[in-house]
Amino acid sequence: MIKQIVFITATILSFGILGYSLLRIYSFLKLTKSHKSGPLGKRISKTLFVALFQTKILRRPVIGVLHALVFWGFIVILFGSLEIIIDGFTGIEKSLSSLGFVYHVISISGDVFSWIILIAICVFFVRRVFLSVKRFEGIEMKRRSHSDANFALSLIFILMVTLIWMNILSSAMNLEEGKLLYPINALFGQFFTSLDHTILLRAYEINWWTHIGVIFLFMNILPYSKHFHVFMSVPNVFFSRTEPLGKLPNMDNITKEVKLMMDPNLAFAAPTEPVSEIERFGVKDVEDVTWKNYMDSLACTQCGRCTASCPANITGKMLSPRKIMIDLRARMKEKAPHILKEGKGYNDNKSLLRDYITTEELWACTTCNACAQECPVNINHPEMIVFMRRFLVMEESAAPTGLNVMFTNIENNGAPWPFSPEDRLLWANDLTTN
């Protein structure tokens, strides 16, 4: 009974704190602009492929398979965690066993995956600590990024060790049932059958409490860690655009202005709608981004596949697509609480553009979409880059000289180079064929 009360209190507390953290992030999200995600059917099939079948992470096959196994293992083991919570609330043991065959399949898979995840986590750890993987480095990768990663790996390690011990000890206490539900750990469990039942039960409970305790701890650290991607990656894929990568979102407020400019009749007609607040063109700071841009930054786990494929980064330029996401999240964390407290007019004389992301980074992008193509959770970095270029060009006329010349050429001659439209057919002169 005491166990139940302690457990229920701990659970409510943990979910309460998690709820608070998530609501806070949601209130940040509400400061941003709208985003169109596209038709539902397409988004569901995309989520199935990219998230569930891990198609993009498998573009790097070796490490990709390991990640996919951990992901699939987590889904299976999530059922186990759900059972632990129900058990803890009701005081019943193995409360979901009434599911029969399904329960057997889940238990057996969970048993197998506990070892697969443990091994994978060890590989990840060795890789991070002892092999120098180039994409884990970069100007944006601070000490904190690395300790964040190692801490999360350690927690998952403890989760798996305690789960494995729970299955071993459970098998030791009831070998017949253990062999059915935990075929791998029952192999170890048979060595402990001779031990006193109370000792086994005590050991089992220690592991049980450690396991659920670490789960509660982990889920409350996630919203403040780069490992928030555990929660955000599937929704992020679901809300990502379904159109080809080459498409950029249209600026409807510009369309209105351009149509006015091009049709003089419209310009002198009485305004049909009230003059709305003048919107800023492009992105200067966090409140100018779409909620999906911000979600992208929350779903980023800093794996660096984007930066490793970026032609500008490969050739030593400042640009790192991963940094764009890290900066966006950090700036939101810095500014949003003040906007919420002091209102939209809050100004700290800093902005995402320039104070976090320099113009040198933005102008180095070739919009080749390699970063977006690689991102396992469908983050769209080029969109953010173009949004910030829009601010630089249309609000500040701060484009590099070469681009300003190109703009002027298009305005005057309808071509990015200084050639007369009158000469547009010269290429076809004296064209003959056999």
Q: Is residue 33 helix, strand or coil?
A: strand
Pick the piece of the chain touching other proteins (CB under 8 A) from 23-31, 65-73, 194-202, 399-407.
399-407
Using rule CB under 8 A, residue 425 touches other proteins: yes
Using rule CB under 8 A, residue 350 touches other proteins: no
221 burial (CB, 10 Å; 0-12 / 13-18 / 19+) is middle
Pick the piece of the chain touching other proteins (CB under 8 A) from 62-70, 224-232, 293-301, 410-418.
410-418
The CA angle 127-68-309, to the nearest 5 degrees, is 65
Pick the piece of the chain touching other proteins (CB under 8 A) from 37-45, 293-301, 324-332, 421-429.
421-429
Tokens of 273: 């709608």
| Cα separation, 118 vs 123, whole angstroms | 9
Q: How many CB atoms lie within 10 A of CB 402?
A: 9
Residues in CB range of 343: below 8 A, 6 or more apart:
none
CB closer to other proteins out of 111 and 374 = 374
CB closer to other proteins out of 219 and 406 = 406
Among 40, 122, 254, 269, interactor with other proteins by CB under 8 A = 254
Using rule CB under 8 A, residue 34 touches other proteins: no
- Closest distance of CB 358 from other proteins, Å: 10
Chain residues 292-321 in contact with other proteins, contact rule CB under 8 A? 309, 311-312, 314-319
Among 204, 208, 228, 281, interactor with other proteins by CB under 8 A = 281
Q: How many CB atoms lie within 10 A of CB 267?
A: 10
- Closest distance of CB 420 from other proteins, Å: 9
| Cα separation, 208 vs 210, whole angstroms | 6
Using rule CB under 8 A, residue 416 touches other proteins: yes
Among 137, 205, 243, 342, interactor with other proteins by CB under 8 A = 243
- Closest distance of CB 314 from other proteins, Å: 6
> Do residues 280 and 395 make contact, with C-beta atoms less than 8 angstroms apart?
yes
| Widest distance between CA atoms in the chain | 100
Using rule CB under 8 A, residue 365 touches other proteins: yes
Instruction: Report the Cα 192 to chain-centroid distance in Å.
Output: 43
> Do residues 366 and 258 make contact, with C-beta atoms less than 8 angstroms apart?
no
Q: Is residue 193 helix, strand or coil?
A: coil
Among 247, 279, 348, 350, interactor with other proteins by CB under 8 A = 247
Among 198, 265, 349, 434, interactor with other proteins by CB under 8 A = 434
Among 159, 160, 250, 295, interactor with other proteins by CB under 8 A = 250
Among 119, 251, 330, 340, interactor with other proteins by CB under 8 A = 251
> Do residues 353 and 392 make contact, with C-beta atoms less than 8 angstroms apart?
yes
| Separation in Å, CA 40 to CA 47, 51, 124, 238, 272 | 10, 15, 35, 9, 34
Among 88, 189, 223, 282, interactor with other proteins by CB under 8 A = 282
| Cα separation, 140 vs 145, whole angstroms | 9
CB closer to other proteins out of 140 and 148 = 140
Chain residues 160-219 in contact with other proteins, contact rule CB under 8 A? none
Among 136, 231, 238, 407, interactor with other proteins by CB under 8 A = 407
Chain residues 44-103 in contact with other proteins, contact rule CB under 8 A? 59
> Do residues 202 and 129 make contact, with C-beta atoms less than 8 angstroms apart?
no
- Closest distance of CB 340 from other proteins, Å: 30
